[in-house]
A and B are shown apart, each in its own frame.
Chain A
C-alpha cells in the first residue's frame, strides 16, 4: 500500500505572496492612484500640480519599480500560472461564485493588457522619450473613441479584479471564515470598487468633456 507522501512545495508560499501582493502594494497603489486621478475633476491645474508633486518625490524611480512595477509583474505572471492550474467548468456548473472565479481570470488578463498600455503611454514614454505627461496629454489620449472605451473596459476589469481579489484575499488568509462574513466582505469590497470605478469614469468623462 502506498504511503501517503507529502511533497514539500514552493507553490504555497508563492501563492500566498501572490495573494498578498494584490493587496499590498498593488491594492494600496491603486487607491493612491485613483485618488490622484480624482484631481482631474479639479481641472488641469490641480491635476498637473499633483503630478508634479509625485514626480518630485525622492527615489521615485526606485519606488515605482520596487513597489509597483515588480509586484504587478509578479502578480500577473504568477496569476497566469495559477490560471493554468485550473480548468473552468461553467457550462455544467453555472453557479454565481464559479462565474466570478472565471471572471477573475479574464479580468486579470484584460487588466494586464490595459495596465501595460496605460503604463506605457503615461509613464514609460516619459522615461524613454521624455514625453511630458499632463492633463492635456491624458485628454488627448482618451479623445480617441476606442482608447476611451478601452479605458472604460480596462478600468472595469481592474476594479472587478480588485474587489473579487479582496474577497479572495480575506479567505486565503483566513480572515473571513464563516459564509456570512465572506458575504459581507464581498459586498463591501464590491462597494469600494464601485466607488473607485465611478471616480475613474468621472475622471475619464471629465477629460473628454474638458480637453
Chain B
C-alpha cells in the first residue's frame, strides 16, 4: 500500500485489567516486516513484555485461534473499526495502530470480551433443524443449487459479533438481538424441515429485543467479514412476519 516501509510498527492498546478496573492506553512497537498482521504483532509483544519506552509490563490479554478468519474469536476494534485481527494486515493500516476491545459486549480483560449472548440468542430463535434423532434414515430432501448457494452464504456466519458492534440500535439501552441472529432465523426457516418451527422463531423475533429494533442503518451489511446478505435476511424475516401477522397476534 504505502511506498515507504516504516522501520517499526507502533501499536496502541487500550488495556483494562478487569471489568471493574480503569482503562488506560499503552504503546508498543515491533520491528517492521512485510505481511505482518495484528496477531503477529501481538505475538511479538508477548515475547518481550515491554512498552514502547522499554518499561516492563504485564501480558496483554487477547484471543486468537484459527488465524484464517473462520473462527471469529480475534474480533476487535482496530483503528476504530471492528474486524478480525488475523486478517488485519499492517501494510494496510494507518500508524499508530490502535487496538480496542469490542464495545457492545461486556469486557473481560484488555481485548477480550464476553460474546456468549450471541449463542444464547441462537437458542432463542431455535437456530437448528428440529430433528427427532440422528439415526440412519436415508437421503435428505433435494435442494436445488440456487437455494444451496443462498443457504451456504447465510450459514457462513461465524458469530463474530461485528454486526452487533456497528449497529446503532445495539447499546446499553437496547438489547436488540442483531442482524446475525435474524439471518440465522431466516436460514432455518428456509430449510424444508427447519420450516416446521418457523412460527416459533418469528414469535421470538416479535418479542423484546426482536426485529422491531432494527433501524435500517444497514451498517451490518457493510461490516460483515463474510459478506452475508444480512439486510436481505432482515427484510425476509419482516416479510415472513407480515404474512403471519394474524398467527402472531393470536400469540399461538
Contacts and interface: CB of A to CB of B under 8 A. Distances in A.
B81 A93 contact: yes
Grouping DSSP codes into helix (H, G, I), strand (E, B) and loop, the B interface class, with mixed when no group exceeds half, is: helix
A174 B81 contact: no
Contacts of A91: 80
A134 to B, nearest CB: 41
Contact of B207 (A6, A93, A102, A168): A6
A4 B125 CA distance: 9
Interface in B116-158: 120-121, 123-124
Interface in B197-237: 203-204, 206-219, 221-223, 229, 231-232, 234-237
B208 A177 contact: no
B241 A174 contact: yes
Number of contact residues on B: which range applies? 35 or more
Interface string A64-100: 0000000000000000001011111101110101101
Given A4-B123, A174-B242, A93 B222 contact: yes
A88 B217 CA distance: 9
A35 B158 CA distance: 51
B217 A98 contact: yes
B234 A85 contact: no
Interface string A86-120: 11110111010110111000000000000000000
A179 B217 contact: no
A86 to B, nearest CB: 5
A85 B174 CA distance: 6
A5 B124 CA distance: 7
Contact of B173 (A85, A92, A168, A171): A85
Number of contact residues on A: which range applies? 35 or more
Contact of B212 (A15, A88, A176): A15
Given A86-B169, A95-B222, A173 B232 contact: no
Given A85-B174, A177-B235, A97 B242 contact: no
A12 interface: yes
B51 interface: no
A6 B239 contact: no
Nearest to A83: B215
B166 interface: yes
Contacts of A82: 215
B40 interface: no
A49 interface: no
Contacts of A15: 212
B168 interface: yes
A167 B234 CA distance: 14
B216 A9 contact: no
B27 interface: no
B222 A171 contact: no
A21 to B, nearest CB: 14
A6 B212 contact: no
Contacts of A5: 124
A197 B120 CA distance: 47
Interface in A8-30: 8-9, 11-16
B64 interface: no
Contacts of A8: 207-208, 251
A175 interface: yes
A15 B207 CA distance: 12
A12 B217 contact: no
A5 B231 CA distance: 25
Given A6-B124, A86-B215, A174 B207 contact: no
B113 to A, nearest CB: 17
A171 B214 CA distance: 10
A92 B217 CA distance: 14
Contacts of B173: 84-85, 87
9 contacts: A4-B121, A9-B207, A12-B210, A95-B219, A97-B216, A171-B234, A171-B235, A173-B242, A174-B241
Given A98-B217, A101-B218, 5 more contacts: A9-B206, A89-B219, A97-B216, A101-B216, A173-B238
